[in-house]
Amino acid sequence: MSILVGDQTRLLVQGITGREGAFHTQQMVQYGTNVVAGVTPGRGGQEVAGAPVFNTVAEAVEKTHPNCSIIFVPAPAAPDAIREAVASRIPLIVTITEGVPVLDMIPLYHYVRDHGARLIGPNCPGLISPGKAKVGIMPGHIHRPGSIGIVSRSGTLTYEVVAALTARGYGQSTAVGIGGDPIIGTSFVDVLKLFEADGQTRAMVLIGEIGGDAEERAAAYIKAHIRKPVVAFIAGRTAPPGKRMGHAGAIISGTAGTAQEKIAALRAAGVQVADTPDQVADLIASARIPRDDA
């Protein structure tokens, strides 16, 4: 098994004819993802990487029946692109776009949930179920099929941890980049629930960073509901207050949102917290999780 994407995924790419959309569509197709269509208004009738291009999402859904959409639309138009996908009843929407205004995301967050859809992102690398489907911009070659579920606010830190796990013989069931903006569609807790219920996932890795209280909320949920081993890494231990570090949501406000607070909450919930990204693999091994290449 895996979560959210897999062999059953039929992917629609919104913004498929743009530079980023076209490049990553080619990469996803080469990985083996079933890209059934793309959308760019005014470009209907073209093809990108073998996928037909339509003028609207509604037309693409009628003709090709996607069950997942990935959005490479520029920030000013991204909220409307998300709404168009939701209105066309696509259940999973992955938004790579960064720079989507918080004021746009507040009503959009509720719109997506009220209509029964799930949004990953914005400002995220996407997700991958190794050997099955890649829906995003992550490097597919470092991933291997396996039993470790990964959920992360950071794309590059995810790649570091995945490379270390793969080198130690631990593959991944699914790796999910939820995004680093202040308001995102899917939280740590949402993904942890799915991993806990997934028969393939034996252990989980949570990668967090300074800012907000998402990691503290995850720690409380882990303590109350998660029975599988969880290992974490929190970035930003030396970050100064009031300075945004990379992601829009990675900022310490007053005394809240520090790495130290997050690490303490996770350890109190029984989570092993690594000091460095590559130490995650060591902690997974110490939890006696069977290697996937054994």
Structural domain boundaries in the chain: 11-120, 138-286
pLDDT of 88 strictly over 70: yes
Q: How many CB atoms lie within 10 A of CB 220?
A: 15
pLDDT in tens, 270-279: 999 999 999 9
Return all residues near 190 (Cβ < 8 A) that are at least 6 apart. Answer: 118
pLDDT at 292: 85
pLDDT at 244: 55
Distance CA 118, CA 219 (A): 22
Contact predicate 271/206, CB 8 Å = yes
Point out the residues that are catalytic: 247
Contact predicate 132/172, CB 8 Å = no
Could you identify the residue written with the tokens 């995003």?
A: 136
pLDDT at 263: 95
- Tokens for 262, please give them: 């997050």
Distance CA 68, CA 49 (A): 17
Q: Which contiguous run of DSSP H or E holds residue 120?
A: strand 118-120
Distance CA 127, CA 194 (A): 14
CATH fold label, 11-120: Rossmann fold (3.40.50)
Please tell me the class of the 138-286 domain.
alpha beta
SS3 230: strand
pLDDT at 256: 58
Distance CA 125, CA 72 (A): 11
Closest CA to 129 of 94, 154, 156: 94
pLDDT of 249 strictly over 70: no
Contact predicate 277/160, CB 8 Å = yes
pLDDT in tens, 39-58: 999 999 999 999 999 999 99
Distance CA 3, CA 12 (A): 18
Which one-letter DSSP state was computed for residue 264? Answer: H
pLDDT of 155 strictly over 90: no
Contact predicate 266/283, CB 8 Å = no
Phi, psi of 266 (to 5 degrees): -65, -45
